[in-house]
Amino acid sequence: MYPDQQRDFAEFVAARSDSLIRLAYVLTNDQHAAEDLLQNALTKTAGRWRRIRGNPERYVRKVMYHEQVDRWRSLGWGRERVVDAVPERAAGDRTAEVDTRVALDQALRALPVRKRAVLVLRYYEDLPESEVAKIMGCSVGTVRSQTHQAITRLRELVGEPLTLEA
């Protein structure tokens, strides 16, 4: 990597690491695994930095998604973890939360791809409507209408009040 590319890459990492580590944590649900995931993704990104054009963060996110899917598919993913001490308190009954998550997950899977993508980009990735419109190649008005239609459909499928925070 040339010195100017090294500088650009270092600036990118400094500017976007906080956002990327949050995504990695959401994907892994473990701080150490999230750090490893991000480090692997940045290593792969550094190796291709010359060829990456446009939005390097999109490339890093894509690498992280694929890396984590590979980890989930690996044989050791479902193994138990050893801990120093057994928790003292039993966890409360969270059955209702789990039921809601399952219902929401099934409802999301029932949505058409574009509507699901709009919801993920707007509410999970927390992107503004204008950025979602650029990514999806449509107008801001289309993003708004797709979002409204998707939320309406989710409410119908879940059968209970649904609130999404922007």
Average predicted confidence (pLDDT) for the chain = 85
The first and second tokens of residue 160, run together, are 């209970």
CATH topology of domain 104-158: Arc Repressor Mutant, subunit A (1.10.10)
Higher-confidence residue of 87 and 104: namely 104
CATH architecture of 3-73: Orthogonal Bundle (1.10)
**Range among 46-55, 67-76, 133-142 with highest mean pLDDT value:** 133-142
pLDDT-derived band at 162 (thresholds 50, 70, 90) equals low
Q: Name the residue among 56, 63, 59 with its Cα closest to residue 8.
A: 56
What does the alpha-carbon distance between residue 73 and residue 52 come to, in Å, rounded to a whole number? 27
Residue 29 has pLDDT above 60, yes or no: yes
> Domain residues of the chain, as ranges?
3-73, 104-158
For 112-146, write each residue's pLDDT tens digit. 888 988 988 898 888 899 999 998 899 999 999 99
What was the pLDDT predicted at 166? 45
The first and second tokens of residue 81, run together, are 């973890």
Q: What is the pTM of this model?
A: 0.47
